[in-house]
């Protein structure tokens, strides 16, 4: 197979959901179909059940030893599927946002009873901004849930999507009889007793047929006919181009736990989901089937195993092929680097491979050379766009609690920030360091890791900020900007790239600042340049 065909058969995607909707269960069932695992329960949940640090640490420790769970890959019907893991916990939402820069499409899992939840809303918003193709999977149909039409409405309204169902449930909860697959025009029956098995499928080109009444009962059959009529009336026909552009989202119904509706989802997915997509850089658009390699770091994973201290940088290959021992340019550092043991990911294992293709993820051992967002090429001096920092929501001063270890503390903070665990701001006024995070949990994580990995101790002190706004004056020399800097002196700092940041203490203060200094622009993500 030529390298272009290899690229064409790749499907790299992420599954996103609010915690508990069924992401882990669905991932596991997809792997079962791919023959990548043999039994249920093999995929470790990355869920933080109690919201406790100890839980997080345990997960990290396990993953540190087996970081392979960050990417789960398998072959299904000759397609190479790469599933990128996204943490569901809101305190790690930034990690998920960054992972979304490396996927070519997503599947959103929604709980039929709970409907659209908060975390789903946030994540889908990011997908919409990036025009990522989305398939919606409504899960837990074996339970009583919301009416299918109401749910479709809710998905459109709360998530701002335009949907078209490609399957439709026959009954729900106790009365759940099966699913009519609009895409394949067949019926999949849900048998109470054989729920764990893959059901037989009955082809149905004509739902008017009397046979339907015999199979699901007259009442259910008539209801399905009426509902399908409504579906065809209300929703547009599926249009792959619209889906690929992010303008139309197909919806499937099923039950991941019972392995019901999952094969249908997967079969449709491999047909419609995008092959690796082109990506914009600061100089040009890069196409996946270009001959030369390019890629970017979207995630850095510290190895929590004390015997192997190095980190793993996850690189999404944007174009060409990545080869072992070939020199590549680390654009930010302007130096060539070779990698003798790049990891590729298969189901739950990682293996050293000679060659990987656009769409794939490789894991590179790193001793501190990489930051999130770094670009690797075969020599071209370009940088991929689009790994923004989002404004943190929690802020604390970080203090050194062991004066003899200040070097270790500095190194630790520096490396943890490179990994994207949190953001560091240095106050302009006095050089004090403020750590901003998305969730409070990260402070404990940082403290724990500084102590266990770097031998440094820290304490925190409250810093009364509400949001970090990146500042861009329309004219850096005008009097208005000078006054802004004078008045807001106490709240100004710099991020790790030296960009000016205003640490506002309330929404009110942001509004007042915008009114008072209209020529000083404020941004809530760092990618405004």
**Smallest distance from ligand G4P to CB 114, Å:** 11
Binding mask 404-423 for ligand G4P (x = CB under 6 A): --------------------
Q: What is the CA radius of gyration of the chain?
A: 25
User: Is 79 labeled as ligand-binding?
Assistant: no
Distance of CA 26 to the CA centre of its chain: 15
Distance CA 291, CA 282 (A): 19
Binding mask 42-61 for ligand G4P (x = CB under 6 A): ---x-x--------------
User: Quick check: 74 and 43 in contact, CB under 8 A?
Assistant: no
User: Quick check: 254 and 138 in contact, CB under 8 A?
Assistant: yes
Report the residue number, 143 or 225, with the smaller CB distance to ligand G4P: 143
**Smallest distance from ligand G4P to CB 197, Å:** 15
Of residues 238 through 277, those in contact with ligand G4P by CB under 6 A are 255-258
Distance CA 434, CA 503 (A): 10
Q: By CB under 6 A, is residue 19 in contact with ligand G4P?
A: yes
Report the residue number, 24 or 164, with the smaller CB distance to ligand G4P: 24
**Smallest distance from ligand G4P to CB 19, Å:** 4
Q: Which two tokens stand for residue 430?
A: 């006095």
Question: Tokens 């850096």 sit at which residue?
Answer: 476
Picking from 188, 265, 365, the residue whose alpha carbon sits closest to that of residue 30 is 265
Report the residue number, 27 or 377, with the smaller CB distance to ligand G4P: 27
Cβ neighbours for 307, distance < 8 A, ≥ 6 positions apart: none
User: Is 18 labeled as ligand-binding?
Assistant: yes
Q: Which two tokens stand for residue 273?
A: 């989901």
Task: Name the segment binding ligand G4P (CB under 6 A); options: 12-20, 166-174, 189-197, 225-233.
Answer: 12-20
DSSP code of residue 196: T
**Smallest distance from ligand G4P to CB 361, Å:** 20
**Smallest distance from ligand G4P to CB 28, Å:** 8
User: Is 87 labeled as ligand-binding?
Assistant: yes
Among 3, 9, 20, 473, binds ligand G4P (CB under 6 A): 20
Report the residue number, 163 or 257, with the smaller CB distance to ligand G4P: 257
In this structure, are strands 167-170 and 178-181 parallel, antiparallel, or unpaired? antiparallel
Q: Which two tokens stand for residue 168?
A: 């439709």
Angle separating helix axes 53-65 and 441-454, nearest 10 degrees: 50
Cβ neighbours for 10, distance < 8 A, ≥ 6 positions apart: 79, 80, 82, 275, 276, 357, 358, 359, 360
User: Is 310 labeled as ligand-binding?
Assistant: no
How many residues make contact with ligand G4P (CB under 6 A)? 19
Strand ranges (DSSP E) for 257-414? 279-280, 285-286, 294-302, 311-319, 321-323, 328-330, 335-337, 343-346, 349-352, 355-357, 361-366, 375-377, 394-400
Report the residue number, 21 or 187, with the smaller CB distance to ligand G4P: 21
Report the residue number, 109 or 317, with the smaller CB distance to ligand G4P: 109
**Smallest distance from ligand G4P to CB 256, Å:** 4
User: Is 12 labeled as ligand-binding?
Assistant: no
User: Is 140 labeled as ligand-binding?
Assistant: yes
Distance CA 217, CA 177 (A): 10
Burial class (CB in 10 A: 0-12, 13-18, 19+), 456: buried
Of residues 24 through 43, those in contact with ligand G4P by CB under 6 A are 24-25
Burial class (CB in 10 A: 0-12, 13-18, 19+), 158: middle
Binding mask 126-165 for ligand G4P (x = CB under 6 A): -------------xx-xx----------------------
> What is the torsion angle, in degrees rounded to the nearest 10, for the CA atoms of residue 419, residue 420, residue 423 and residue 426?
30
Report the residue number, 139 or 321, with the smaller CB distance to ligand G4P: 139
**Smallest distance from ligand G4P to CB 364, Å:** 28
Q: By CB under 6 A, is residue 17 in contact with ligand G4P?
A: yes
Distance CA 296, CA 133 (A): 21
Task: Name the segment binding ligand G4P (CB under 6 A); options: 16-24, 100-108, 119-127, 200-208.
Answer: 16-24
- Secondary structure (3-state) at 153: helix
Q: By CB under 6 A, is residue 101 in contact with ligand G4P?
A: no
User: Is 141 labeled as ligand-binding?
Assistant: yes
Contacts with ligand G4P, residue ranges (CB under 6 A): 17, 19-25, 45, 47, 88, 139-140, 142-143, 255-258
Binding site, annotated residues: 17-24, 85-89, 139-142
- Binding site for GTP: what residues are annotated? 17-24, 85-89, 139-142
């Amino acid at each position: 197979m030529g390298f272009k065909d290899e690229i064409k058969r790749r499907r790299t995607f992420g599954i996103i959901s609010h915690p508990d909707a069924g992401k882990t269960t669905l991932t596991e069932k997809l792997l079962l179909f791919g023959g990548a695992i043999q039994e249920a329960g093999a995929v470790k949940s990355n869920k933080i059940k109690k919201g406790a640090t100890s839980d997080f640490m345990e997960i990290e420790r396990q993953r540190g030893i087996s970081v392979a769970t960050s990417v789960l890959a398998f072959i299904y019907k000759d397609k190479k599927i790469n599933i990128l893991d996204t943490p569901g916990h809101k305190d790690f939402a930034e990690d998920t946002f960054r992972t979304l820069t490396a996927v070519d499409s997503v599947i959103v899992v929604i709980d039929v009873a709970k409907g659209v939840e908060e975390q789903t809303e946030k994540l889908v918003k990011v997908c919409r901004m990036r025009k990522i193709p989305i398939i919606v999977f409504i899960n837990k149909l074996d339970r009583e849930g919301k009416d299918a039409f109401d749910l479709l409405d809710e998905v459109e309204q709360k998530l701002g999507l335009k949907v078209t169902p490609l399957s439709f449930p026959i009954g729900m909860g106790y009365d759940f009889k099966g699913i009519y697959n609009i895409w394949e025009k067949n019926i999949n029956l849900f048998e109470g007793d054989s729920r764990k098995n893959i059901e037989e499928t009955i082809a149905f080109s004509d739902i008017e047929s009397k046979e339907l009444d015999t199979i699901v009962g007259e009442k259910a059959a008539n209801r399905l006919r009426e509902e399908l009529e409504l579906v065809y009336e209300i929703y547009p026909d599926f249009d792959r181009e619209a889906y690929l552009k992010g303008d139309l989202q197909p919806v499937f119904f099923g039950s991941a736990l019972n392995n019901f509706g999952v094969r249908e989802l997967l079969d449709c997915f491999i047909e419609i989901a995008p092959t690796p997509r082109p990506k914009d850089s600061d100089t040009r658009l890069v196409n996946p089937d270009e001959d030369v390699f390019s890629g970017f770091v979207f995630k850095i994973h510290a190895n929590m195993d004390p015997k192997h201290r190095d980190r793993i940088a996850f690189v999404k290959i944007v174009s060409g092929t990545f080869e072992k021992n070939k020199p590549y340019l680390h654009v930010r550092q302007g130096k060539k680097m070779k990698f003798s043991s790049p990891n590729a990911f298969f189901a739950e294992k990682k293996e050293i491979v000679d060659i990987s293709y656009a769409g794939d993820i490789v894991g590179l051992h790193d001793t501190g050379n990489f930051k999130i967002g770094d670009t690797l090429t075969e020599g071209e001096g370009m940088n991929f766009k689009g790994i923004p920092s989002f404004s943190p929501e929690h802020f604390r001063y970080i203090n050194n609690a062991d004066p003899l270890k200040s070097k270790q503390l500095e190194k630790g903070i520096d490396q943890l920030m490179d990994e994207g665990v949190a953001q560091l701001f240095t106050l302009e006024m006095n050089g004090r360091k403020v750590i901003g995070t998305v969730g409070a949990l990260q402070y404990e994580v940082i403290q724990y890791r500084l102590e266990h990995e770097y031998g440094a101790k820290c304490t925190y002190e409250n810093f009364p900020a509400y949001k970090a706004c990146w500042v861009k004056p329309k004219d850096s020399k005008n009097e208005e900007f000078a006054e802004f800097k004078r008045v807001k002196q106490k709240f100004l700092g710099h991020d790790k790239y030296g960009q000016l940041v205003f640490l506002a203490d309330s929404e009110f203060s942001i509004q007042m600042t915008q009114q008072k200094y209209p020529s000083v622009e404020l941004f809530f993500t760092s990618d405004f340049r």
